[in-house]
Amino acid sequence: MDYELTGEQREFRKSFRAFCDKEIAPRAREVDAKATFSFENHRHLADTGFFGMPFPEKYGGRQGSLLTCTLAWEELARACASTFLSCGVGSLLSGMSLHLFGTEDQKQNYLAKLIKGQRIGAFALSEPHCGSDTAALKTAARKEEGRYIIDGEKAFVTNGPVADFVVVFAVTDPSAAPGQRMSAFIVEKDLAGFSAGPSLEKLGARGCPVSDLTLKGCLVSENQLLGAEGEGFLCAEKAWGFGRLGFAAYSLGVGQACLEESIGYARKRQAFGRPIAHFQEVSFKIADMQMLVDTGRLLMYRAAWMMDRGLDARVDVSIAKLFASEAATWCAGNAVQIHGGHGFIKGYEVERLYRDAKLGEIGGGTSEMQRMGIARSLLGEGF
Amino acid sequence: MDFSFTDEQKAFKEQVLKFSQKELAPLAEEADWKGEFCWEAWRKMGAFGLLGLPYPEEYGGSGADVVTACLAGEAVAQGGAEGGLCLAWGAHTYLCGDTILKHGDEEQKRKYIPKISSGEWVGAFGLTEPGAGSDAASIRTTATRKGDYYLLNGTKMFITNGPIADVLVVLAITDKEKKAAGISAFIVEKGTPGYSVGRELKKMGVKASTTGELVFEDCPVPAQNILRKEGDGFLIALGTVEWDRSTLMAPFLGGLGYALEACVKYAKERVQFGRPIASFQAIQHKLADIKVTLEAVRLLIFRVAWLKDQGKFTNPVEAAAAKLFVGEFGMKAASDAVQIHGGYGLMHEYPVERIFRDAKLGAIGGGTSEIMRLIIARSIFAAGKPL
């Protein structure tokens, strides 16, 4: 047993925080206000080796443990949740799919370039009519003369408008069991019939472009099949295991930022002749924030640690994601409350954090889906 | 980081769990109903070696580390033991015994620890007073030096094991001018003239533990019974109440596990509208929430235990986070557990009814949730930066 990070991990977190404070955080407000992807942030992150953190050295990665990755993820989300959603979760989902299911050629062509920051990846699973219920997917890939013809619509695709390639999930065998119906494909942005819709206007994480995708008679070769035919569901499940851990980090970063903003404001803001930090209604809310963020972090670390050891961590990742996301929205709501009128005004960090927090309870499977999964693990088959 | 337990720790937990299920759980309902201390369960725990778990072998203990001690606390409650028994155990082994072990001189340790370890003597810890709860530095009990004795005068309140204790650690003022630095800790034995149990108090939960008001009237305590030296009492108490916020919380973790198991079983068996209620999402999601709370509590408690094993004597912020979480989320989980059971959840024969009443202690005993928030907030605003 050991409840502390190693000296190396603490050092890494410190230096990564310094990097984020210097290069990422100053642009956070603008990224949100303009609701555009920051290629500058993307380049800075590529230069630090961020994209390669969990991937093998062979492709330019750092082969770090997931536990160490979560440290960087949380810091990036703390500095700019939008950027983390694009460059963290978005890249992780496409990158992990390639890492786990790609051929050597695919890894060299896509993963290595993603790690270098030369290509941006996206991951397209949800459709306009289905999110968590992946068995209802309609996008189809028909095989004809050694090629696949993909037709369908994808929804809420993170990085959709800026992606150079997209991992697309499509049904290849409608008659197979639900877990074997779909396959994953790598689709390049300039493929005929492929188009990304306009960036959707969103409540929060506005600087992360999200769009619908349309695939009309897209012809892709067998070489673009990711994993074997019928392995799409498996690929999506595995990638989302990492994605959920990423969302736990997203929420913890937002929660931590709310905590820090609240501490700073409570110290400065005077009311009735003293800083509002002196009032228990304020300082106790801040104590609760710290307790929640601290607890969420323990849950996330344990889930990452289990995944690093190759243990089945599906339930633990769900627990971490569920707890951290609800903790973050609580922290954000109370951070705005502590800021009073200022918290409601654009320009105060907490106004943005409040909007950013909500995604944690929805992306990567809603809180309801996490609870369903956790309950199933308790009840066993048949429920 | 490493969140694993050793094989030895896991095997020990399993052993304690079986012991609790077989020997302690059958005694729980009656003890709770009567609100009486269960000597049968107590003796069994002593014989099993639980009462002296963390003490070195030379004092009759098992030399267990804090992590192992917390596993035992979890297992006893998870097996179905009554909450008051767990509380009595905590007050005896940690608040009283461990305080003597940590701060006593060799003679004091030789005299008291083996008897506490076997359970032959019951221990208690007397800090709280009718007018001094969260504000522990405001105690009014005095200890006035008279030759080879200190004369104790005052009243102690809500003292777990007080009515049955053979030996107590009592906090009293030796120098009023110095405030907290003028508080000292004494070992007081039952039968000392001038010491009496005022009344035994009846409680909402953890009912099989005895709780008393203790009265000291010119009670002569031998000078050699002081722990460390005059003025060290408050610091000693700070270290002691940290047990309240860690080891004594382990049974709440076990209680959650016990309740969750009962809920899963009930939800699968109970049929409404033609199907088990476990198939309804409203029930499933409550089960999930209890599970989330349980896993969070586990990590928070074992973090404090691990820190203590690393030799960090006080870990106030981590302990406060654990205690605050157990108090607040534990109540919610216990409430959900009753709700899942519907009408049966209100009935005494279902264990969740007891767990619900016991859970409230988590937000009050050993420092209220508000005090835990105060500790965390002070650490933030005094140190100038968050953790």
Burial of residue A381, with CB atoms counted within 10 A of its CB: 0-12 exposed, 13-18 middle, 19 or more buried: exposed
Mean pLDDT of chain A: 96
- Chain B residues inside the 8 Å CB shell of A300: none
Same domain as A350, residue A239: yes
A378 CB within 8 Å of a chain B CB: yes
Number of structural domains, chain A?
A: 3
Beta strand B167-173 with B271-272 is unpaired
Question: CATH number for the domain including A211?
Answer: 2.40.110.10
B321 to A290: CB separation less than 8 angstroms, yes or no: yes
Last residue of one domain, picked from the residues A208, A230, A252: A230
Q: How far is CA B378 from CA A188, B320, B345, B385, in A?
A: 55, 11, 39, 11
Question: CA-to-CA distance for B264 and A378, rounded, in angstroms?
Answer: 7
Comparing A111 with A146, which gets the higher pLDDT?
A111
Same domain as A255, residue A163: no
CA-based nearest distance A26→chain B, Å? 21
CA-based nearest distance B47→chain A, Å? 29
Same domain as A203, residue A260: no
Encoded tokens for B151: 């004369």
Beta strand B183-189 with B167-173 is antiparallel
Same domain as A136, residue A56: no
Q: How far is CA B152 from the centre of its chain?
A: 26
Comparing alpha-carbon positions, the chain A residue that sits nearest to B297 is A295
A308 CB within 8 Å of a chain B CB: no
Would residue A73 count as lying in a domain?
A: yes
Comparing alpha-carbon positions, the chain B residue that sits nearest to A278 is B381
Question: CA-to-CA distance for B215 and B202, rounded, in angstroms?
Answer: 18
A2 to B2: CB separation less than 8 angstroms, yes or no: yes
- Residue range A18-44: average pLDDT? 97
Q: What are φ and ψ of residue A331, in 5° steps?
A: -60, -45
Contact (CB, 8 A) for B334 and B352: yes
B324 to A291: CB separation less than 8 angstroms, yes or no: yes
Produce one character per residue of B132-151: b if its CB has 16 or more CB atoms within 10 Å, e if not.
bbeebeebebbbeeeeebbb
CA-based nearest distance A131→chain B, Å? 18
B374 to A291: CB separation less than 8 angstroms, yes or no: no
Q: Does the pLDDT at position A338 exceed 60?
A: yes
3-class DSSP state of A201: coil
A316 CB within 8 Å of a chain B CB: yes
For residue B82, what pLDDT is reported? Answer: 96
For residue B383, what pLDDT is reported? Answer: 64
- Fold (topology level) of B245-383: Butyryl-CoA Dehydrogenase, subunit A; domain 3 (1.20.140)
Residue B381 has its nearest CB partner, among A1, A67, A277, at A277
Question: CA-to-CA distance for B82 and B357, rounded, in angstroms?
Answer: 11
B83-90 helix and B39-48 helix, angle to the nearest 10 degrees: 60
Encoded tokens for A372: 């369903």
Encoded tokens for A19: 């990097």
B299 to A295: CB separation less than 8 angstroms, yes or no: yes
- Select from B284, B300, B308 the residue whose CB has the most chain A CBs within 10 Å, as the one to mutate to test that interface: B284
Last residue of one domain, picked from the residues A86, A104, A120: A120
Produce one character per residue of A218-253: b if its CB has 16 or more CB atoms within 10 Å, e if not.
bebeeebbbbebbbbbbbbebbbbbbbbbbbbbbbb
Q: Where are the alpha helices (DSSP H) in A24-122?
A: 28-34, 39-48, 66-79, 81-83, 91-101, 104-106, 112-116
Was domain B124-233 assigned CATH 3.30.565.10?
Answer: no
Q: Give the residue range(s) of CATH 1.20.140.10 domains in chain B.
A: 245-383
Residues on B contacting A at a C-beta cutoff of 8 Å: 1-6, 67, 260, 264, 267-268, 276, 278-279, 281, 284-285, 287-289, 291-292, 295-296, 299-300, 302-303, 306-307, 321, 324-325, 370, 372-374, 376-377, 380-381, 386-387
- Chain B residues inside the 8 Å CB shell of A280: 370, 373-374, 377
**Nearest-CA neighbor of B324 among B296, B292, B355?**
B296
A with B: how many residue pairs have Cβ under 8 Å apart? Answer: 133
Encoded tokens for A73: 């993820």
CA-based nearest distance A304→chain B, Å? 10
**Nearest-CA neighbor of A151 among A110, A195, A190?**
A195
Residue B307 has its nearest CB partner, among A3, A277, A316, at A3
- Max alpha carbon distance in chain A (Å)? 80
Looking up tokens 């609790």 gives B20
Cα atoms found within 13 Å of the Cα of residue A166, Cβ hemisphere only: 33
Q: Give the residue range(s) of CATH 2.40.110.10 domains in chain B.
A: 124-233
A378 to B260: CB separation less than 8 angstroms, yes or no: yes
Model confidence pLDDT, tens digit, residues A277-328 = 999 999 999 999 999 999 999 999 999 999 999 999 999 999 999 999 999 9
Comparing alpha-carbon positions, the chain A residue that sits nearest to B269 is A379
Question: CA-to-CA distance for B30 and A268, rounded, in angstroms?
Answer: 56
A277 CB within 8 Å of a chain B CB: yes
Q: What number of other Cβ atoms are within 10 A of residue A6's Cβ?
A: 12
Euclidean distance between the first and the last CA atom of chain B, given in angstroms as a whole number: 18
- Chain A residues inside the 8 Å CB shell of B299: 295, 298-299, 302
Comparing A6 with B384, which gets the higher pLDDT?
A6
Q: Give the residue range(s) of CATH 1.10.540.10 domains in chain B.
A: 7-122
Same domain as A339, residue A280: yes
- Whether the CA torsion A272, A278, A283, A284 is positive or negative: it is negative
Same domain as A222, residue A358: no
For residue B312, what pLDDT is reported? Answer: 79
- Chain B residues inside the 8 Å CB shell of A3: 1, 3, 302-303, 306-307
Would residue A1 count as lying in a domain?
A: no
Comparing alpha-carbon positions, the chain A residue that sits nearest to B371 is A284
Interface ipTM > 0.85: yes
- Chain A residues inside the 8 Å CB shell of B268: 379, 383
Q: What number of other Cβ atoms are within 10 A of residue A278's Cβ?
A: 15
Q: 3-state SS of chain B?
A: CECCCCHHHHHHHHHHHHHHHHHHHHHHHHHHHHCCCCHHHHHHHHHHCCCCCCCCHHHCCCCCCHHHHHHHHHHHHHCCCCHHHHHHHHHHHHHHHHHHHHHCCHHHHHHHHHHHHHCCCCEEEECCECCECCCHHHCCCEEEEECCEEEEEEEEEEEECHHHCCEEEEEEECCHHHHHHHEEEEEEECCCCCEEEEEEECCCCCCCCCEEEEEEEEEEEEHHHECCCCCCHHHHHHHHHHHHCCHHHHHHHHHHHHHHHHHHHHHHHCEECCEEHHHCHHHHHHHHHHHHHHHHHHHHHHHHHHHHHCCCCCCHHHHHHHHHHHHHHHHHHHHHHHHHHHHHHCCCCCHHHHHHHHHHHHHCCCCCHHHHHHHHHHHHHHHCCCC
Encoded tokens for A4: 């502390």
Comparing alpha-carbon positions, the chain A residue that sits nearest to B264 is A379
The residue type of A278 is: H
pLDDT in tens, chain B (387 residues): 999 999 999 999 999 999 999 999 999 999 999 999 999 999 999 999 999 999 999 999 999 999 999 999 999 999 999 999 999 999 999 999 999 999 999 999 999 999 999 999 999 999 999 999 888 889 999 999 999 999 999 999 999 999 999 999 999 999 999 999 999 999 999 999 999 999 889 999 999 999 999 999 999 999 999 999 999 999 999 888 888 788 899 999 999 999 999 999 999 999 999 999 999 999 999 999 999 999 999 999 999 999 999 987 778 899 999 999 999 999 999 999 999 999 999 999 899 999 999 999 999 998 999 999 999 999 999 864 443
For residue B382, what pLDDT is reported? Answer: 85
How much is the pTM?
0.95
B296 to A2: CB separation less than 8 angstroms, yes or no: no
Residue A263 has its nearest CB partner, among B268, B291, B380, at B380
Would residue A2 count as lying in a domain?
A: no
Q: Does the pLDDT at position A131 exceed 80?
A: no
The residue type of B351 is: P
A323 to B276: CB separation less than 8 angstroms, yes or no: no
Same domain as A139, residue A98: no
- Chain B residues inside the 8 Å CB shell of A287: 324, 372-374, 376-377, 380
Contact (CB, 8 A) for B220 and B150: yes
CA-based nearest distance A65→chain B, Å? 11
Model confidence pLDDT, tens digit, residues A213-266 = 999 999 999 999 999 999 999 999 999 999 999 999 999 999 999 999 999 999
A323 CB within 8 Å of a chain B CB: yes
Question: CA-to-CA distance for B207 and B356, rounded, in angstroms?
Answer: 12
For residue B387, what pLDDT is reported? Answer: 36
Residue B303 has its nearest CB partner, among A3, A372, A377, at A3
A379 CB within 8 Å of a chain B CB: yes
CA-based nearest distance B276→chain A, Å? 9
Contact (CB, 8 A) for A27 and A38: yes
Last residue of one domain, picked from the residues A230, A254, A278: A230
Supply the DSSP symbol for A130.
Answer: B
A284 CB within 8 Å of a chain B CB: yes
The CATH homologous superfamily for domain B7-122 is Acyl-CoA dehydrogenase/oxidase, N-terminal domain (1.10.540.10)
Which residues touch A103 (CB under 8 Å, ≥6 apart)?
Answer: A223
Question: CA-to-CA distance for B38 and B208, rounded, in angstroms?
Answer: 7
- Whether the CA torsion B362, B365, B369, B373 is positive or negative: it is negative
Same domain as A74, residue A127: no
A279 CB within 8 Å of a chain B CB: no
Which residues touch B193 (CB under 8 Å, ≥6 apart)?
Answer: B219, B220
Beta strand B167-173 with B123-126 is parallel
Domain carrying residue A322: 234-379
